Chain A
Amino acid sequence: MMAVTEELQNVPPEKLVVAGVSKWFRTSRADVHALDNVSLNVREGEFVCLVGPSGCGKSTLLNIIAGLEQPDAGQILADGQPVTGPGRERMMMFQESALFPWLDVLDNLLFGLKLKPNLKRHERREVAQFYLKLVGLEKFMHANIHELSGGMKQRVALARCLAPNPRMLLMDEPFAALDALTREQLYGDIQRIWEKRKKTIVFVTHNVREAACLGDRVVLFSPHPGRVQEEFTIGLPRPRDINSVELAKYSTEITRALKRHLKPEAAEVAE
């Protein structure tokens, strides 16, 4: 009977389910309760931003979704399958580019592709070049990593994440270390690529405006321990401009909520 109703409803399965995840970090000095019973659903093709002050466990949650860390309670389902370890279906992008300095730009992109089975040599190269072109850096194919600017490094890192064609991108404050102008360019790039390649993106940031600019949905976290406090749906058309007035309305609302949930001593949130 159950099966029939499910069939009739024909609801597409959630791309990502975070079910009651808790996490503690045990150090010699103290136990830190990083995440407390966090639940979250992400639809296929959705762009979700996790926002909160530092120490709210949003990066920890992203690591758990990636499979790089294990939760102490609860579980993660990706496409209905429990996540037990990292996989190329869920690529992760970090605050620092994490590009390999001993390889040039092209070889950095090929690193992930070589680990993907059933790709011929020339196919790998074509794929790598396609994604370099997508981020506008095909001319820098043979450049060394240290020759790139911060923004270019993050572009290459993005291309490296996209190249093995993951369904989901996990981004951990990828633009936090960049200057404002470069960041704005990348907001444009990431929206363009997201629409073109139809990815599901979970994006962690402490920058409320950034979250409002990028996300279909903004999930607000509060710290000590990390909990989901509120969710906001951003109903603005794309591509969005970070400086638009409509966006400011959303970010003001989210910031206000953030302050409400914050204990006063931890009020160090951007914008």
Chain B
Amino acid sequence: MKRWLWAGLFFLVLAGIWEWLVRREIWSPVLIPSPLDVARYLVESIRDKSLLQAGYITMKRLLLGYIVGLVLGLPLGLLNARFKLLEDTVGIVALGLQTLPSVCWAPLALLWFGQTETAMFFIVIMGSLWSIVIATDTGVRNVPPIYARAARTMGSRGLHTWLKVILPASLPFIVSGMKQGWAFAWRSLMAAEIYVTILTGFGLGHLLHYGRELHAMDAVIAIMLVIIVIGLLADKILFSPWEKFLHRRWGTARN
């Protein structure tokens, strides 16, 4: 509770300094709008639902694409770690594609799928998939072999060993890979939304782009704030519980 209080106070002071600077009129209000203007835009765009709509569309793209990335990435990573042949083939592809900045998928996706949702999903999937594959692969390789040996003497075999021993043992790596995959997906989706108009729905990136076209700095800053808040919430909701679990069980500060 006390922590929240401090955080709230900190941001209030920050907004206060901002307002004060604006009132001294050092910069043109076109470049630095007042925090009150930003707030006003936020309230209005929530009231006329344009912001909520855009947020919904963006989150839908991100979450669905990310889930597909996870569903494909986890097993692929496990298989890579298990089979030498896959590691030497798919593993190299994964490593190569992971180094590719995921926004580079945008031109290809647009040519393949046109200005559609599929293109957006594709970019998000490509952004998250390879990080997850590599993290899972690395995680499995870093599992001390003694865990699997101990499990085998207790009667664990095959799939049971993989699901109950290898997978949980690689969790520290997998969670950090999932986090990285999420960050990549989020960045590439924003870039793609700003970069090109998708006819099937206007996301936050598109709203941001419009703000620039209209020289509406209050909208630009407001949407940037919304994007930051979404990032923070995702971190707290999606990853914090995992990290707390890892911290508690493994006794490590950070993985």
Residues of A within 8 A of B (CB): 66-68, 85-88, 90-92, 94, 96, 98, 100-104, 111-112, 115-116, 144-147, 160, 164
Contact = CB atoms under 8 A, between A and B. Distances in A.
Contacts of A116: 155
Contacts of A147: 251
B251 to A, nearest CB: 3
Given A87-B155, A91-B154, A112-B154, A100 B146 contact: no
Contact of B164 (A90, A94, A96, A111): A111
Given A102-B168, A102-B169, A88 B153 contact: yes
B152 interface: yes
Contacts of A94: 146, 149-150
A16 B57 CA distance: 67
Contacts of A86: 152-153, 155
A98 B167 CA distance: 16
Contacts of A91: 153-154
Given A86-B152, A88-B155, A100 B250 contact: no
Interface of B: 144, 146-147, 149-156, 160, 164-165, 168-169, 171, 248-251
Give the residue among B151, B153, B160 with the most A Cβ atoms within 10 A. Answer: B153
Contacts, number: 68
B163 to A, nearest CB: 12
14 contacts: A85-B152, A87-B155, A90-B153, A92-B150, A98-B150, A100-B147, A101-B249, A102-B171, A103-B168, A115-B156, A115-B160, A116-B155, A144-B251, A164-B154
Contacts of B147: 98, 100
A76 to B, nearest CB: 14
Nearest to B167: A102
A145 B252 CA distance: 12
A135 B160 CA distance: 28
B154 A68 contact: no
Contact of B154 (A85, A88, A104, A146): A88
A266 B205 CA distance: 70
A100 B146 CA distance: 10
B151 A111 contact: yes
Contacts of A146: 249-251
Task: Tell me the interface secondary structure of chain A in the complex.
Answer: loop
Contacts of A90: 153
A116 B144 CA distance: 24
A151 B168 CA distance: 25
A68 B164 contact: no
Given A102-B171, A111-B156, 13 more contacts: A66-B153, A86-B152, A94-B149, A94-B150, A96-B144, A98-B149, A100-B168, A102-B249, A111-B151, A111-B154, A115-B154, A146-B250, A146-B251
Contacts of A66: 153
Nearest to A164: B154
Nearest to B156: A115
B162 to A, nearest CB: 14
B243 to A, nearest CB: 14
A66 B153 CA distance: 7
A92 B155 CA distance: 11
B155 A115 contact: yes
Contacts of B171: 102
B166 to A, nearest CB: 11
Contact of B153 (A68, A102, A103, A144): A68
A91 B149 CA distance: 11
Give the residue among A94, A101, A104, A147 with the most B Cβ atoms within 10 A. Answer: A101
Contacts of B169: 100-102
A258 B168 CA distance: 44
Give the residue among B152, B155, B156, B164 with the most A Cβ atoms within 10 A. Answer: B155
B250 A92 contact: no
A146 B146 CA distance: 17
Contacts of B144: 96, 98
Nearest to A102: B168
Nearest to B152: A86
A144 B154 contact: no
B76 to A, nearest CB: 22
Contacts of A67: 153
A85 B152 CA distance: 9
A249 to B, nearest CB: 36
Contact of B146 (A96, A102, A103, A164): A96
